[in-house]
Amino acid sequence: MSREASADPDAAVQAFKENILLKLKYAVGKSPGNAFGHDWFEAVALAARDQIADRWEESSETVDRSQAKRVYYLSLEFLMGRLLIDNLCNLGVLDIARQALRELGVDLDDIRQVEPDAALGNGGLGRLAACFMESMATLDVVAHGYGIRYEHGLFRQVIADGWQQEHTETWLDFGNPWEFERPEVSYRIGFGGSVSTQESSEGPPRQVWTPGETFRSIAYDTPVIGWRRASVNTLRLWRSRAEEDLQLDRFNAGDHFGAVADVVKAESISRVLYPADSTEAGQELRLRQEYFFVSASLQDLLKRHLDEYGDLLNLPEKAAIQLNDTHPSIAVAELMRLLVDVHQIEWFIAWRLTVGTLSYTNHTLLPEALESWPVSLMERLLPRHMQIIYLINAFHIDSLRAQDIHDFALLRSVSLIEEDHGRRVRMGNLAFLGSNSINGVSALHTELMRHTVFRDLHRLYPERINSKTNGITFRRWLYQVNPALTGLLTQSLGEDWQVAPETTLQGLEPLAEQAGFRKQFAECRQRNKVALVRLVQERLSISLDSQAIFDVQVKRIHEYKRQLLNLLHTVALYQAMRNDPATNWAPRVKIFAGKAAASYHQAKLIIKLANDISRTINSDPTVRGLLKVVFLPNYNVSLAETIIPAADLSEQISTAGLEASGTSNMKFALNGALTIGTLDGANVEMSQLIGSDNMFIFGMTADEVESRRRAGELEMTSVVEGSERLAGAIEAIRAGVFSPDDPQRYANLIDGLLGYDRYMVCADFDAYWKAQRRVDALWHKPTQWWRTAVLNTARMGWFSSDRTISEYASDIWHVPFTLPRPAQKPAG
Ligand code: 26V
């Protein structure tokens, strides 16, 4: 199969149609007459998968021949979402598939909705891994993603009486047509047991780990195809199984439950995604998950390397392993164990290979999210790894002393073992020491890494920390989610903008000055808004005015992301509209969505507050037509795909210094929403490229936040007294205006804000209010609003994950890449 879709479109449609029918009959076991939506989805997915498999084979043969260096992306999370449209688009057969189905009496837009989201991630970190997989395939970077094939992804959020409830997510119930099970690709994973020393006549004594229990990892491969059939890479996810399905002796002795106890224990490792983000885990199962997938992946890649080269000494030249946060950081000790204990490589050579191969990305500075494991747990679960960690630590401290570094505080802070709060292993320090590159995900975040968590390690290894500002794949976050705007851009800029957005999207800048173009741009937005209005009507029976400002904050619910600040503004605006109906208010719809970690009480209370405020305001006739508030349940990738292209205003309002990058900020701006935000994470780069006068930047900077915190100014009574609007909003919530059924519901929440405002919600309120009024003012000047919106899209090219991946490829992995090429026009 060539890289381009067939030159004869009609023949391609007929061929696709036939393949769908064959799949329906022989793989699904249905005829068109009795096929349901899911049957059609499966048949189309399998037909598309055939084409991907053809390219997959070609890709892997090319790679094998060229002996190219491989990238391994180790991540506990891959938030892939749906894959049907993604794959059809990248194959270049979207219209062909649509037409083939139409001829069969089936609407592609109906069956795409049937596919469950692969929600194998919590939020930004997992979605970034998914965007990276797509960009790596597009740029012909030879890459494998490694993770866990969770049977249950992130929980399904149900809102009952305003409260979040968590329900089990079941994405595999109807099977998964994209994956290939590989029962033969299986490794043994050990836990517990003991370590003994074996003397050897040929060399130094060897350490032999005899695990107390062992499980099997089974591989499931999902091909990931690049834009217009560039490379096809593999996402390999591991499932955990028992060594034996049934202990027959126990079964025969009548112990029917005991006979499958091992199976249950083994399978629990890949049963469910950890649903917390940035809240302390401290669970044994989490450590088991981390080690399980790291060990399976490293055994797999070492085997591949040995099959190819017969030797491990050239590992760093042929493999680059990227650790997505500290979750896979046990890889440092596991790679050392495999090299030293299993492959009998001398310690210092093994260390050079390990550091030469590994690199690590940090995604958060929040202290509660920095992983550390109790030494006692590590000793029990991974006794050999604990020894290796002690050795790495000892050799490191020795090498520092040899360089005449004796500063006790420094030695303590760079140690792998934290001695203060019960002895714990610091996984961030382990990942740092074991890696040749440590990167942050935006300029500000990287700078803060250098001066906070890794201050001392950075002083010792000033070359290691570098910045790679995140990006997003435009294929999904523009072409697929916003066909209207995509059509307009193609009509105005030609086809090639899709290939090289960084240089071509700028071509929109002069068009921002043309009234006709602005009108068309606004019309695209209007179509997307109408689609969202319909969805809200269907799901919540709330009717929205599509002419109002759609003011959107969608992301995990977390205090540092400050949904509370947005809610306080909502209440203050509500009060102002009621008190001052004569003002020419810009009508607004406030849209919220996001999940709270199940154990995060405060975040769940914020969801309840959003729902309480929504109910009160939506039923108040005095603000009808002016203000509506919506909390959309079960935020996920698919919901984001409908919400983001319909937003006018994107809320990126974290306390400065706390959001490492953010990526939804990029998705919104690319689709032409304006941003109201703090100078935090990648908002900083956005404000530099878009121009801060084309955004609504407000609030304290990271430095100001830090000084205020240092000065201990977190008591807010005087701040609130000084701000009439804030005081009014706080008082209303405190007094139970939104919770008449339980007037005390928010008393603690509000008292906490006044007494110790860790995230400086109150301190930033007035600045936020003022920025929101600038939003209103601009909305009243449509020419300027839409001019700004066009400029946002025009200037977002740099935020393509193709750019991010090209930087990883050149600076960290040292692998070649090819940027996507314009489509070859058929001859003649
Ligand atoms: C931590 C934990 C700890 C407990 C168990 C479960 C769990 C799951 C995830 C995390 C790490 C959260 C880190 C994270 O998602 N960071 C986000 O990364 C994005 C991509 O770089 C970035 O855009 C966001 O700003 C950052 O918050």
Q: For 109-162, how does the pLDDT look when each residue is reduced to its tens digit (9 = 90+)?
A: 999 999 999 999 999 999 999 999 999 999 999 999 999 999 999 999 999 999
CB 562 within 8 A of CB 759: yes
Q: Say if residue 421 is in the same domain as residue 535.
A: no
Instruction: Encode pLDDT of 560-614 as tens digits.
Output: 999 999 999 999 999 999 999 889 999 999 999 999 999 999 999 999 999 999 9
788: left (phi over 0), alpha (psi -120 to 50) or beta: alpha
pLDDT in tens, 360-380: 999 999 988 889 999 999 999
Residue 513 lies in a domain: no
Q: What is the pLDDT of residues 174-226, one digit of tens each?
A: 999 999 999 999 999 999 999 999 998 878 889 999 999 999 999 999 999 99
Helix (H, G, I), strand (E, B) or coil at 374: strand
| Chain segment 764-784, per-residue pLDDT in tens | 999 999 999 999 999 999 999
Tokens (6 digits) for 648? 């006018």
* Residue positions counted in the chain: 828
In this prediction, residue 261 has a pLDDT band, given cuts at 50, 70 and 90, of: confident
pLDDT score, position 823: 58
For residue 440 and ligand 1, the question of a CB distance below 6 A is answered with no
Helices then strands (H, E): number in the chain?
A: 34, 24
> Looking at the domain assignment, is residue 775 inside a domain?
yes
Q: What percent of the chain has pLDDT above 90?
A: 88
- Using the atom order of ligand 1, give the atom closest to the CA of residue 281: 4
Distance in angstroms (rounded) separating the CA atoms of residues 141 and 143:
6
Kindly state whether residue 605 falls inside one of the protein's structural domains: yes
Is residue 479 within 6 Å of ligand 1 at its C-beta?
Answer: no
Q: Does the Cβ of 659 fall within 6 Å of ligand 1?
A: yes
Three-class secondary structure of residue 345 per DSSP: coil
CB 305 within 8 A of CB 407: no
Query: Which tens digit of pLDDT belongs to each residue from 315-360?
Result: 999 999 999 999 999 999 999 999 999 999 999 999 999 999 999 9
Q: Is the CB of 278 under 6 A from ligand 1?
A: yes
Predicted confidence band of residue 272 (pLDDT cuts 50, 70, 90): very high
pLDDT at 282: 67
Q: Is the pLDDT of residue 279 over 70?
A: no
Alpha-carbon gap, residue 514 to 782, rounded angstroms: 13
**Ligand 1 centroid – CA 440 distance (Å):** 12
Written as one string, the DSSP assignment of 504-543 is: HGGGGTGGGG-HHHHHHHHHHHHHHHHHHHHHHHHHH---
CATH of the domain at 790: 3.40.50.2000
pLDDT band at 658 (very low <50, low <70, confident <90, very high): very high
Reduce the DSSP state of residue 485 to 3 states and report it: helix
* Ligand 1 atom closest to residue 361's alpha carbon, by position in its atom list: 21
**3-state DSSP assignment of residue 185:** strand
Domain-embedded: residue 817: no
Q: Examine the pLDDT at 821 and tell me if it is beyond 80.
A: no
442 and 540 in a common domain: no
CA-atom Rg of the chain in angstroms: 27
Same domain, 451 and 302: yes
Q: How far apart are CA 104 and CA 13, in angstroms?
A: 11
Whole-number pLDDT of residue 3:
40
Give a yes or no: residue 170 inside a domain. Answer: yes
**How high is the pLDDT of residue 278?**
67
Is position 59 within any domain? no
Task: Reduce the DSSP state of residue 424 to 3 states and report it.
Answer: strand
Higher pLDDT among residues 400 and 422, named by residue: 400
Residue 117 Cβ inside 6 Å of ligand 1? The answer reads: no
Among 372, 661, 667, which residue has the most ligand 1 atoms within 8 Å of its CB, making it the best to mutate?
Answer: 661
Tell me the average pLDDT across 475-493: 96
629 and 754 share one domain: yes
Q: Does pLDDT of 263 surpass 50?
A: yes
**Average pLDDT value for residue range 508-524:** 98
Predicted pLDDT at 100: 98
Q: Is the CB of 330 under 6 A from ligand 1?
A: no
Number of folded domains in the chain? 2
- Average pLDDT for residues 22-27, to the nearest whole number? 98
Averaged confidence pLDDT in the chain:
95
Give the pLDDT score at 715. Answer: 86
Residues 633 and 736 in one domain: yes
Torsion of CA 237, 240, 245, 247, to 10 degrees: 170
Taking the C-alpha atoms of residue 509 and residue 514, their distance in angstroms, rounded to an integer, is: 10
Distance (angstroms) between ligand 1 centre and the Cα of 122 equals: 8
Both 432 and 546 in a single domain? no
CA angle 622–625–631, rounded 5-degree value: 95
Which residues are catalytically annotated? 363, 555-556, 561, 663, 667
Q: Does 551 lie in the same domain as 427?
A: no
Q: Which of 400, 433, 467 is the last residue of a domain?
A: 467
CA dist., res. 209 & res. 334, Å (int): 12
Average confidence (pLDDT) over 495-522: 92
Q: Is residue 582 part of a domain?
A: yes
| Mean pLDDT of all residues in 245-259 | 85
Choose the final residue of a domain: 467, 488, 503: 467
Does residue 465 have a pLDDT over 80?
Answer: yes
Kindly indicate the confidence band of residue 6, based on its pLDDT and cuts at 50, 70 and 90. Answer: low
Residues 190 and 283 in one domain: yes
Given ligand 1 and candidates 76, 277, 293, which is best to mutate, with the most ligand atoms within 8 Å of its CB?
277
Residue 73 pLDDT more than 60? Answer: yes
Tell how far the Cα of 124 is from the centroid of ligand 1, in angstroms: 6
Q: Tokens 């020795």 map to which residue? A: 398
Same domain, 437 and 542: no
The reported pLDDT for the residue numbered 118 is 97
β-pairing verdict for 437-440 and 358-361: parallel
Residues 426 and 574 in one domain: no
Q: Is residue 368 part of a domain?
A: yes
Model pLDDT, residue 746? 98
Q: What is the mean pLDDT of residues 707-731?
A: 94
Verify that 463 and 527 share a domain, yes or no: no
Kindly give the distance from the C-alpha atom of residue 324 to the centroid of ligand 1, in angstroms, as a whole number. Answer: 10
The domain in which residue 754 lies consists of: 522-798
One domain for residues 202 and 326: yes
Instruction: Return the half-sphere exposure (C-beta side, CA atoms, 13 A cut-off) of residue 567.
Output: 30
Query: Region 678-700: what's the mean pLDDT?
Result: 98
Indicate if ligand 1 lies below 6 Å from the C-beta of 444: no
